[in-house]
Structure formats: structure tokens, C-alpha cells
């Protein structure tokens, strides 16, 4: 049933994204700016109050979260326990990833300088409000040096400054927070590799890998997907599924071009699973790939 549900979601989102024309894609700039502004205002309010606002926002997807509630994403800032910003998403990491990919979409649509500046500021603010490590790595480690800094000397100076800040002020910019420990992530990774070994050809089916945990590791109690989207995808669909996807995507983009497009979001794939498991993550990923395809075809024609 979980595989069928995920597959129907994928089909629905894929058909919707494919129905978008070039005109629709270009017109995404203003809606994305409005949506981003709304999410940031809501996030600031959640952080200031320490809990969700609820009311009509519940129907837009806002979770009922609060400081002190079990299972809520928290952080420590200046010895104070604070709520990591959720917006209307189910987890702060998904909000941060959505902001990062929205910025990439805007960049592909070649907006005015104003949009560049506004989206970059908004995404940076969103990273600090959500305190998402993977999105911070994508933005500061890849997107800014690759797309905003055109000269090698500037990139070297940027990385030197970034490294210095990371060493000197790590506890300020990325304070300790309540999250999965490295040990728990490695445990999930090991278990996912065991799933791949036991289902190497066709996998377990989409979203079905968790159902194999009790059989493969009866003592394992953390029922979460692997936080590496690549091994998670392999455990779902096996070698056959991976080869089919690589074949069709490579025919569409070209293997080298595909790598270039995936590099900016690589930390999101390597360090989390929401681009595959979350409806919002899956939808924004498909829209990004559609925009990438549009810009790729346009550049080839030129």
C-alpha cells in the first residue's frame, strides 16, 4: 500500500509538472517570491513564540509544534532552547531544502538582479532560521562559490573566509540541536545497505524498505528512512530501477549535464531523504528538473 501511495503521488506530480509550459515556468518567479516571503514571516513568528501559530494555517500544512513537545526539532542558541523554523512544512530541513531549490529555479529562469538579491537573502535567512546543515552546505559550500563568484581568486578567498568563520564561530552559526546523532544516521545507513544486499535486483518497492527492518535487524527501533537518498533509492528500486532511471535521465539531459545540475543539490541527496519521501520535496525536485530541462534545451538550440 505504501508503494502504491508513493507511486500515485509521483504520477500526479509528474503529470502536473509536465503540463507546465515554458510560459508557466517563466511566470514562477513572482509566486515563488511571494511563497518564500510568506514562509519566512511565518518562520520568524514561530521562532519568536516558540510554537506554531495554527488557526487557518493548519489547513496550509502547519504542524502543531512547540518547544518541549516530544519529537520536535529544537536547537540551542545562547543557552536558550529554541524551535527550529517549520513554516508550513513537516520538518525544518524540508523548508530549508525547498528554499535552496527555489533559489536554483529562480537562477535558471534568469531573473532581474532584484530577484537574485531578494532570493539569496531570503534563502540565507531561511538557513539560519531552520539551522539545516545539509542546506547550509549546499548554499554556502556549492551554490554561492559556483554561481555567484566567477573568478578563481574570489572563490579561494571566499573558502578561506568561510573556513575561518566555521572554525572560529561554529557554535554561533550552527549551535547544538536536538537531531539524529551521527551514530543513529550510520545505523540507518548500515541497515539500508543490508536491505540492498537482500533485495539487490528489484528492491523492496517505494517507501517499503522500513517494513524489512524487523526482519533484518529485530533489535532496531528507529523506524526512519535512510538519510542518504541514493542508497535509499537503490533499496527501493534495486539495480534494475536505478539503471532504468539513469538511462532515461541521461538520454534527456546527457550524463555530463545531469551531473552539473545535480551538484548544487548533492548535499540534500547525501544527507537527507525528503526529496524522495516528502510530497513537498518530491514536487519541488520535479519542478527543478523541468526548469533545468527547459534551460538545457534552450541553451542547446542557441
* Alpha carbon distances (Å) from 73 to 51, 102, 159, 176: 11, 23, 29, 11
Q: For position 176, what pLDDT does the model report? A: 53
Q: How far apart are CA 63 and CA 133, in angstroms?
A: 21
DSSP state of 22: H
User: How distant is the alpha carbon of residue 98 from its chain centre?
Assistant: 6
CB atoms within 10 A of CB 46: 25
Q: For position 164, what pLDDT does the model report? A: 81
Domain that holds residue 77: 2-301
Q: For position 121, what pLDDT does the model report? A: 92
The domain total for the chain is 1
For every residue of 105-160, which 3-state class applies, written as one string? HHHHCCCCHHHHHHHHHHHHHHHHHHCCHHHHHHHHHHHHHHHHCCCHHHHHHHHH
DSSP state of 56: G
Averages of pLDDT over each 10 residues, the chain, 302 residues = 87 91 87 93 94 90 88 79 92 95 90 84 93 92 90 89 73 51 82 93 91 85 88 95 85 72 92 93 92 70 56
Helix (H) or strand (E) holding 81: strand 80-83
Please say whether the beta carbons of 206 and 237 come within 8 A. yes
Q: For position 172, what pLDDT does the model report? A: 47
Q: For position 220, what pLDDT does the model report? A: 77
Amino acid at each position: 500500500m505504501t508503494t502504491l501511495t508513493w507511486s500515485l503521488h509521483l504520477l500526479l506530480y509528474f503529470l502536473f509538472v509536465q503540463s507546465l509550459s515554458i510560459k508557466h515556468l517563466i511566470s514562477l518567479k513572482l509566486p515563488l517570491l511571494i511563497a518564500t516571503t510568506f514562509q519566512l514571516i511565518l518562520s520568524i513568528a514561530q521562532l519568536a513564540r516558540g510554537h506554531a501559530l495554527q488557526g487557518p494555517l493548519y489547513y496550509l500544512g502547519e504542524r502543531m509544534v512547540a518547544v518541549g513537545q516530544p519529537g520536535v526539532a529544537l536547537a540551542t542558541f545562547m543557552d536558550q532552547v529554541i524551535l527550529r523554523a517549520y513554516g508550513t512544512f513537516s520538518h525544518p530541513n524540508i523548508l530549508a531544502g525547498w528554499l535552496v531549490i527555489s533559489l536554483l529555479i529562480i537562477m535558471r529562469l534568469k531573473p532581474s538582479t532584484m530577484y537574485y538579491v531578494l532570493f539569496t537573502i531570503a534563502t540565507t535567512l531561511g538557513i539560519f532560521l531552520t539551522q539545516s546543515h545539509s542546506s547550509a552546505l549546499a548554499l554556502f559550500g556549492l551554490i554561492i562559490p559556483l554561481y555567484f563568484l566567477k573568478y578563481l581568486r574570489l572563490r579561494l578567498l571566499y573558502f578561506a573566509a568561510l573556513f575561518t568563520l566555521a572554525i572560529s564561530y561554529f557554535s554561533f552559526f550552527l549551535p547544538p540541536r536536538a537531531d539524529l546523532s551521527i551514530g543513529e544516521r550510520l545505523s540507518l545507513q548500515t541497515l539500508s545497505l543490508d536491505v540492498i544486499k537482500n533485495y539487490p535486483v528489484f528492491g523492496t518497492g517505494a517507501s517499503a524498505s522500513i517494513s524489512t527492518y524487523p526482519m533484518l535487524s529485530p533489535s532496531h527501533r528507529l523506524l526512519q528512512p535512510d538519510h542518504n537518498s541514493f542508497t535509499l533509492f537503490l533499496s527501493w528500486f534495486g539495480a534494475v530501477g536505478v539503471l532504468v532511471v539513469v538511462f532515461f535521465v541521461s538520454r534527456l539531459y546527457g550524463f555530463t549535464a545531469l551531473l552539473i545540475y545535480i551538484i548544487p543539490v548533492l548535499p540534500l541527496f547525501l544527507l537527507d531523504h525528503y526529496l524522495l519521501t516528502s510530497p513537498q520535496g518530491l514536487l519541488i525536485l520535479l519542478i527543478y528538473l523541468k526548469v533545468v530541462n527547459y534551460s538545457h534545451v534552450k541553451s542547446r538550440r542557441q
